[in-house]
Chain A
């Protein structure tokens, strides 16, 4: 029944436009891009217009906050949708299986660099962290190289980079990219040097080795476009509420918290312990990039130092209790402690250097 309906939908010329992504994927992408740019350019005017209609004191805190919210929230969501769409299509070339085949047998050093870089473009969800980890180790990817991937994949991703770019600016986004990759590469390399293979859980070590060979699925452009739609539904559908909530909290901070409120607590001249304190506060917080970055932006605007804020953000995203609980199934406590210690030290160095230099 439904198959007949599907068939009908495809043949019926009245549904031609709906079917455009399947028939002419490139044309669809071009049209979508043009429409996107046209809407995006109108956002500031629409936001100003909407705020001006509200019966509030136009120069007050409330108007400030509302103006920020009605402009920033759609802007960020639009950027996010576009980037996630494109990344979803790119991801369809880099399945975990292909990434594993590329990394198997690679030596440390170059392997760490490749693993961290592939971490950006390989689709990753924290609930897949453990199967991915075992799959890599089983195929002969060195432990340190596996960790480089595992650190980079959640920390340096398109959602974090887009939000940083949209809310804080491209310089900080670029810094975050470079530093995140560096931490993943160096931490993975250090863990590899420590030769901790014995601290994998026994059943993981005893598992049969697998051949990393893979046969790539043949995908058409239309399939990749569908993969892009799928990740927009998946990712934007999951995080949009966090983004709006985050921007709303950010808007509240913008309007109401006095300038330089954070300067004493997290500012440049705060004492040396503000970086480790930022990391410690970050660990038990379990949030994704989507929820934390709008708050980061607000903290920066109120005088918090970049080093502290970066350290806080990296710690929230890269080190979290739930992830450690999952990893405990495959790692013995000493390896988990080493992992946390090495990554936290990396973040600490980044934070301290930033506070010193900037």
Chain B
């Protein structure tokens, strides 16, 4: 099962990102473990400077904005 973390201090774009990933995963029938990381020290531990950022199975795959549908689909499809 994929573990996806959305890093962000609780701004509107972060919430949109979480909803979007959830929605697409459901649509595709992919089970994921989705976490929202709002703690600043944890976010900084990933070396991320602009939020929302997305961590896929421990690796930062996206920073600085709501990801595109295509990008999220790639994450969900990747083995």
Contact = CB atoms under 8 A, between A and B. Distances in A.
A234 B65 contact: yes
A203 interface: yes
B9 interface: yes
A18 to B, nearest CB: 15
A100 B49 contact: yes
Contact of A96 (B9, B50, B73): B50
B50 A2 contact: no
A96 B77 contact: no
Interface of B: 8-11, 13-14, 40-41, 43-44, 47-51, 64-66, 68, 70, 73, 77
Given A2-B73, A96-B64, A230-B68, A131 B13 contact: no
Residue in B41, B44, B47, B66 with the greatest tally of chain A CB atoms within 10 Å = B44
A-B residue pairs, 6 tightest by C-beta: A127-B11, A135-B49, A96-B49, A128-B50, A96-B50, A132-B49
Nearest to A138: B44
A210 B51 CA distance: 18
Contacts of B41: 203
Contacts of A349: none
Contacts of A138: 44
B44 A125 contact: no
A15 interface: no
A203 to B, nearest CB: 6
Interface residues of A, number: 27
A3 B11 CA distance: 31
A193 interface: no
Nearest to A127: B11
Nearest to A1: B28
Interface of chain A: mostly helix, strand, loop or mixed: helix
15 contacts: A2-B73, A3-B73, A6-B70, A95-B64, A128-B49, A128-B50, A131-B44, A131-B50, A134-B44, A135-B44, A135-B48, A210-B47, A226-B68, A234-B65, A234-B66
Contacts of B9: 127, 130-131, 326
A136 B47 CA distance: 11
A123 B64 contact: yes
A226 B70 CA distance: 12
A97 interface: yes
Contacts of A230: 65, 68
Contacts of B8: 127
B50 A207 contact: no
Given A127-B13, A203-B41, A132 B73 contact: no
Interface string A120-150: 0001010110111011101000000000000
Given A95-B64, A125-B11, 9 more contacts: A3-B77, A96-B50, A127-B10, A131-B9, A131-B44, A131-B51, A135-B49, A138-B44, A203-B41
A94 B66 CA distance: 18
Interface in A21-55: none
Contacts of A125: 11, 13, 50
A329 interface: yes
B53 to A, nearest CB: 8
B33 to A, nearest CB: 22
